[in-house]
Amino acid sequence: MLNNIKETANFLKEQTNYNPKIGIILGTGLGGLVNEIDIKFSIPYDKIPNFPISTVEGHSGKLIFGLIKGKEVVVMQGRFHFYEGYDINKVVFPVRVMKYLGIENLIISNASGGVNPSFKIGDLMLINDHINLIPNPLIGKNIDELGTRFPDMSQPYCPKMLSLAKDIAIENNIKIQEGIYVGVTGPTLETPAEYNYFRIIGGDTVGMSTVPEVIAARHMKLNCFAISVITDLGVPGKIQVVTHEDVQNVAEKTEPILTKLITELISKI
């Protein structure tokens, strides 16, 4: 696996001659951030050695190199999920490649279902912790060059970036929530009993991504920031039939606010 990571990173360095310090993973319906990028290179996933290919509607499948607010970034426009049938190490493979490209900070967005009764559809939630119910990408033989066998997870999400995001939200009159994200395999949306369970164990939102990437990133000592768009509610009395199109529509409506928050955060990192 390590040889594949290095092979892919070397290929991308040769293609771009770029040294990004910030990596970004854009979630469902949130690909519009690319409009804020001064794009230097855009490479489809199927042209990148060893890279998986995104199969989910709303995930474009390109790796973009460019500038946001003068900062060099590499952006995944479309991510990979365990439910697509990929081995969990394939899901986090791009994060490991980005580490070898030189990133120090990872920013992730996602769409999720709110189980906190104070949340509303369209809210933004800063993730300050998570509960992992997806297979852990560190299971198996440890690769010492990537990180230690038993990485500390007492601060999975960077306190400094969380604080900056809160300040930016106040300055720009952006309403934000903060809480714990429960990562599940999917692809089924949750039953009412499952929503209730996730709330009982301490969750504020539930989704099918993000956690494996953060685990892999923290294993490599990358600083992580993640934010959820609440696209549906798993609260008793507010649960409705939801489709993937519904999730995309809500995420897209919230996109301009999220884009503002993330671009300002990048400028201050």
At 137-166, the pLDDT tens digits run 999 999 999 999 999 999 999 999 999 999
48, 151, 258 from 159: Cα distances, Å: 33, 18, 19
> What DSSP assignment string belongs to 59-83?
---EEEEEEETTEEEEEEES---GG
Burial class (CB in 10 A: 0-12, 13-18, 19+), 200: exposed
Whether 117 has a pLDDT exceeding 90, the answer reads: yes
Q: What does the chain look like in DSSP terms, one character per residue?
A: -HHHHHHHHHHHHHHH----SEEEEE-TT-GGGGGGSEEEEEEEGGGSTT-----STT---EEEEEEETTEEEEEEES---GGGT--HHHHHHHHHHHHHHT--EEEEEEEEEE-STT--TT-EEEEEEEEE-S--TT-SS--TTT--SS---S--S-HHHHHHHHHHHHHTT--EEEEEEEE---SSPPPHHHHHHHHHTT-SEEESSSHHHHHHHHHTT-EEEEEEEEEEE-STT------HHHHHHHHHHHHHHHHHHHHHHHHH-
Distance of alpha carbon 86 from the chain centroid: 17
- Would you state the pLDDT for residue 160? 97
Tokens of 74: 């590499």
pTM confidence score: 0.94
Q: Which domain holds residue 128?
A: 2-268
**CA distances (Å), origin 55, targets 152, 172, 177, 204:** 32, 35, 30, 28
Tokens encoding 57: 């509607």
Q: What is the mean pLDDT of the chain?
A: 92
262, pLDDT greater than 90: yes
Amino acid (one-letter) located at 23: G
Contacts of 107 (CB under 8 A, 6+ apart): 22, 23, 24, 25, 161, 224, 225, 226, 262, 265, 266
Which CATH number is 53's domain given? Answer: 3.40.50.1580
What is the average per-residue pLDDT within 259-267?
Answer: 94
pLDDT band per the 50, 70, 90 thresholds, residue 56: low
User: pLDDT digit string (tens) for 65-105?
Assistant: 999 999 999 999 988 999 999 999 999 999 999 999 999 99
Q: What is the total count of domains within the chain?
A: 1
Q: Tell me, what's the pLDDT at 252?
A: 77
pLDDT of residue 105: 98
Mean pLDDT across the stretch 38-44?
95
pLDDT given for residue 52 in this prediction: 85
How large is the average pLDDT for residues 35-58?
85
- Please name the amino acid found at residue 254: T
pLDDT interval class at 29 (50, 70, 90):
low
Cα separation, 86 vs 104, whole angstroms: 26
Contact between 224 and 157 under an 8 Å Cβ cutoff? The reply is yes
Count CB-CB contacts under 10 A for residue 152.
10
pLDDT at residue 54 greater than cutoff 80: no
| C-alpha to C-alpha distances, 93 to 100, 138, 161, 190, 229, nearest whole angstrom | 11, 12, 24, 27, 24
